[in-house]
């Protein structure tokens, strides 16, 4: 979305013009949901969190100064919502005395007998490997491989220098290759 159109949409939302906020949701819902759903595996939880993002946007619009782009501000809210969810998950897991070394969540070692995985199996292993990544890397991978998100957007949303975003992304991919050892051959 063009910056000028974004500003105009924000103004309309601030004036509480009928249908303006619906338009904002329509415009960004796919990106927001995809980002969250790629970092939070539970779909209904992902929808709740995506709604939280728009709820925060609605509350924050009167204070949005327009220095950053609306989309950047939105991604920043997504990053915050995901980090909050992560810390809540961690505390829930701690209260249940769950071990982080749960063997079920670990990527199984590739079988030496059957190394030829079908695409479906490979994708499934890829998803499991992504779940194994540190949360920051997971969010970077999710954002980078979604259409419309540039390195610059990620850097602004995550408050990181551009170079750090690129380095972390390459490290994330390297870690993924290590987790998928042999499956990509």
Partner 1 sequence: MTSDAMCTALADDIDAIAVGELTPDAAAAAHLSTCAACRAELEEARRLDKLLRERPVPTPAPGFTSRTIQRIQKAGWRREQIVDWIFNSALIAAALLVAAGLWIALEHTGLSSLSRDALDIFAGGATTLAQKVTPSLPLYAGATGLLVVALGLWWWASDAAL
Which listed residue (8, 11, 17, 30) binds partner 1 by CB under 8 A?
Answer: 30
Stretch in the footprint of partner 1 (CB under 8 A) among 63-71, 99-107, 142-150, 153-161: 142-150
C-beta of 160 vs 176, nearer to partner 1: 176
Whole-number minimum distance, CB 182 to partner 1, in Å?
Answer: 9
Which listed residue (20, 54, 131, 160) binds partner 1 by CB under 8 A?
Answer: 54
When asked if residue 132 is in the footprint of partner 1 (CB under 8 A), the reply is no
Whole-number minimum distance, CB 98 to partner 1, in Å?
Answer: 25
C-beta of 51 vs 80, nearer to partner 1: 51
When asked if residue 45 is in the footprint of partner 1 (CB under 8 A), the reply is no
Whole-number minimum distance, CB 21 to partner 1, in Å?
Answer: 7
Whole-number minimum distance, CB 14 to partner 1, in Å?
Answer: 15
Burial tier of 172 (Cβ tally within 10 Å: 0-12, 13-18, 19+): buried
Angle between helices 20-37 and 3-14 (to 10 degrees): 120
Which spans of this chain sit near partner 1 (rule: CB under 8 A)?
Answer: 21-22, 25-26, 29-30, 33-34, 37-38, 43, 46-47, 50-51, 54-55, 58, 122-123, 126, 141, 145-147, 166, 169-170, 173-174, 176-177, 180, 184-185
């Amino acid at each position: 979305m063009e910056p000028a159109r974004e500003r105009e949409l924000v103004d309309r939302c601030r004036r509480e013009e009928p249908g303006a906020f619906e338009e904002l949701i329509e415009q960004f819902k796919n990106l927001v949901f995809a980002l969250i759903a790629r970092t939070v595996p539970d779909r209904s939880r992902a929808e709740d969190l995506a709604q939280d993002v728009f709820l925060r946007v609605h509350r924050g619009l009167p204070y949005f100064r327009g220095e950053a782009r609306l989309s950047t501000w939105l991604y920043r809210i997504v990053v915050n919502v995901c980090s909050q969810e992560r810390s809540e998950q961690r505390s829930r897991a701690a209260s249940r005395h769950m071990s982080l070394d749960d063997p079920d969540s670990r990527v199984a070692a590739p079988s030496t007998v059957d190394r030829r995985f079908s695409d479906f199996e490979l994708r499934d292993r890829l998803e499991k490997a992504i779940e194994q990544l540190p949360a920051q890397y997971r969010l970077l991978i999710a954002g980078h491989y979604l259409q419309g998100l540039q390195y610059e957007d990620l850097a602004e949303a995550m408050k990181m220098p551009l170079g750090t975003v690129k380095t972390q992304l390459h490290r994330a991919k390297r870690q993924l290759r290590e987790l998928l050892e042999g499956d990509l051959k």
